[in-house]
Chain A
Amino acid sequence: IAGITQAPTSQILAAGRRMTLRCTQDMRHNAMYWYRQDLGLGLRLIHYSNTAGTTGKGEVPDGYSVSRANTDDFPLTLASAVPSQTSVYFCASSDEAGGSTDTQYFGPGTRLTVL
């Protein structure tokens, strides 16, 4: 199956717990992104990676970390979850990055609730 997969689909988490959201793509895209989507707000970029081995901060990076050990995987970690991190998280990828505008393709999302 081509595309982007995310896991888990949804999760309820106690505040203070550590959580890793997984994202895998099989399109051999260079760039990957993590967004959060909250009601009434546009998608907001958390972190991105232009290529394997590099990462960068987006608009709302605080409380989140990422790694890009290989082309396919881009996990997002919440070190100590807080209720304000309750959101829907989307992973996306694009073929090119860093100096070009390329269409981003999205995974199905993870709905996270922090209590």
Chain B
Amino acid sequence: GQNIDQPTEMTATEGAIVQINCTYQTSGFNGLFWYQQHAGEAPTFLSYNVLDGLEEKGRFSSFLSRSKGYSYLLLKELQMKDSASYLCAVADSNYQLIWGAGTKLIIKP
């Protein structure tokens, strides 16, 4: 079967750095997405990785290792507004997205 694993919840301090991991087992791989979802709102796109390596976009970076079936989202200089759920999703061999359950990130002052 297809499976995406992420930690359920993480806590970090304002101004710090946090890494959210995602491991996947899917039938085929056509890229990995990270989305941010604030409580009661829609998911919004953060990043897309299809090749191994690190993609940096401001305070957020995303890493992919296809051989290990592993990705992480790195958030730097955490702000209170970063409190949200972070969703990992993999495009399978049919280009359909398989979604993880999300990681709820709690930022403390």
Contacts and interface: CB of A to CB of B under 8 A. Distances in A.
Interface of A: 35, 40-45, 48, 58, 90, 97-101, 103-109
A44 B95 contact: no
Given A101-B30, A101-B50, A42 B42 contact: no
A101 B42 contact: no
Interface of B: 4, 30-31, 33, 41-45, 48, 50, 87, 89, 91, 95-102
Nearest to B45: A103
A95 B85 CA distance: 25
In terms of DSSP, what is the predominant structure of the interface of chain A? loop
Given A58-B96, A99-B95, A101-B50, A42 B45 contact: no
A40 B95 contact: no
Contacts of B4: 42
A45 B42 contact: no
A60 to B, nearest CB: 12
A111 to B, nearest CB: 9
B13 to A, nearest CB: 26
